[in-house]
Amino acid sequence: MRKVLFISAAGLLATVCAKAQVIATFSIKQHQQYVAEPVCIDLDPLTKDADSTLQLVEVSKGKRTPVPFQIEKRYHRFLWWMMQPTNKEGVFELQKRRADMPDGSGQDKIGIKDENGTLLVTDAGKKVLQYNYATMYPPQGVDTVFKRSGFIHPLWSPDGNVMTRINAPDHYHHFGLWNPWTEVSFRGKIVDFWNLVKKEGTVRFAKFISKDEGAVFGGFKALQEHVVLNDPAGEKVAMNEEWDVRVYNIGDKKWLWDFTSVLNCATTDTVFLKEYRYGGFGYRATEQWNDDNSKVLTSENKTRKDADASTARWCMLDGAINNGHSGILFMSFPANYNYPEPMRVWPEKMNGRGDVFFSFSPTRNKDWTLTPGKDHVLKYRMLVYEGTITAEEAEKNWQAFANGPEIKIVKKN
């Protein structure tokens, strides 16, 4: 967990740049070196100055260099910027911006485009991922029971390779990256929100809570409803779920993005997510991957031969695609339910060729009770890359996600 130390003005160590008033100094120490890492600080205790009057600079060897930053406005204002892979430690100043200094927005940004029932997230104009909020129907001739909204597809690699698959003929209910639950007890009845063919339940997009774009991150928060379809009294919403999807601006021919799911009961009834091998955050990989051209490796050194039903901090999957090689590192947060989380990993020769599916499944070996009036949170981080990465690189990225940097804040009166 990120460590934050707040020090009084008497401990101020930073020097003030000529003609720039320093509001606060931040000393950042990363847990891991050579990993791009987002940094977030609560801005309201530091200053009440308007966002447009602020500037962030990095102090190094007597020089002050403007740093792209972004201010997120929620119940507080939060200041975000990126620690670069080359910097294990850094000193930054929050200043009142001089008229001759850039505004810190940066030229390249994580942008969003809302069009035709989809929300597209881009990095400097390159496609990263698409959230489908309009109902998407299966291919012509396939039962429309397989229609759905509220999922991510495509997820692209930095070179533009499509990493996800939907409506595969072997599993029409697979939707790229999605988060339904398979065996759910609601009001004394078992409901399957995963296998749409049963016509018991589904997940639907309800509304956007927020959308963000900027120099540091871009993404959205969306409300999704887990709907019971076979209730005699009519459709009922059993669970509400907030998706928080956030793509960071890290460059280096990689995407880094967070997926947070906040589940809560939609009624005063307790919901029981029952033990089952499927359920939770799932990924159906590109149809180009098979046993011969792709691999799986977990934090516990498990491969596709023995990863299924094991537990792990992270799992990487990569393989040949479009005359290249792309991959995804899935990382689980230590506060998640039933951490380290069990996984569902399709075995070799799946569908006769070795199709690839992966899921963190916290209810694989244990029930999860959702109590009314409480939020139940699952957090994941993905690193999408070209080529392949080593187990050491994967562990460094997970350590950065799990622990965050150590932050020392020195405020000036």
Least confident stretch, 151-165, 233-247, 399-413: 399-413
Asked whether residue 38 falls in the same domain as residue 114, the answer is no
Asked whether residue 345 falls in the same domain as residue 387, the answer is yes
Q: Output helix, strand, coil percentages for the chain, rounded to the nearest 5.
A: 5, 50, 45
More confident residue, 88 or 106: 88
Rounded-to-integer distance, Cα 38 and Cα 269, Å = 38
Rounded-to-integer distance, Cα 113 and Cα 410, Å = 38
Rounded-to-integer distance, Cα 262 and Cα 210, Å = 15
pLDDT above 50: residue 6:
no
The bridge status of strand 177-178 relative to strand 201-212 is unpaired
Asked whether residue 172 falls in the same domain as residue 77, the answer is no
Asked whether residue 321 falls in the same domain as residue 347, the answer is yes
pTM of the model as a whole: 0.93
Asked whether residue 126 falls in the same domain as residue 151, the answer is yes
Rounded-to-integer distance, Cα 245 and Cα 255, Å = 13
Q: Residue 31 has which token pair? A: 């847990």
Q: Tens of pLDDT along 112-126?
A: 999 999 999 999 999
Angle at 98 (CA atoms; ends 92, 102), nearest 5 degrees: 75
Average pLDDT for residues 23-39, to the nearest whole number?
90
Number of domains in the chain: 2
The CATH number linked to 197 is: 2.70.98
Rounded-to-integer distance, Cα 200 and Cα 202, Å = 7
Asked whether residue 141 falls in the same domain as residue 37, the answer is no
Asked whether residue 309 falls in the same domain as residue 171, the answer is yes
Domain hosting residue 73, numbered range: 3-102+404-411
The CATH number linked to 11 is: 2.40.30
Asked whether residue 140 falls in the same domain as residue 187, the answer is yes
Residues 6 or more apart whose CB falls under 8 angstroms from that of 332 comprise: 312, 313, 314, 339, 340, 341, 360, 379, 380
Asked whether residue 93 falls in the same domain as residue 146, the answer is no
Asked whether residue 143 falls in the same domain as residue 204, the answer is yes
Asked whether residue 288 falls in the same domain as residue 223, the answer is yes
Asked whether residue 279 falls in the same domain as residue 346, the answer is yes
Task: State the pLDDT confidence band at 12, using cuts at 50, 70 and 90.
Answer: very low
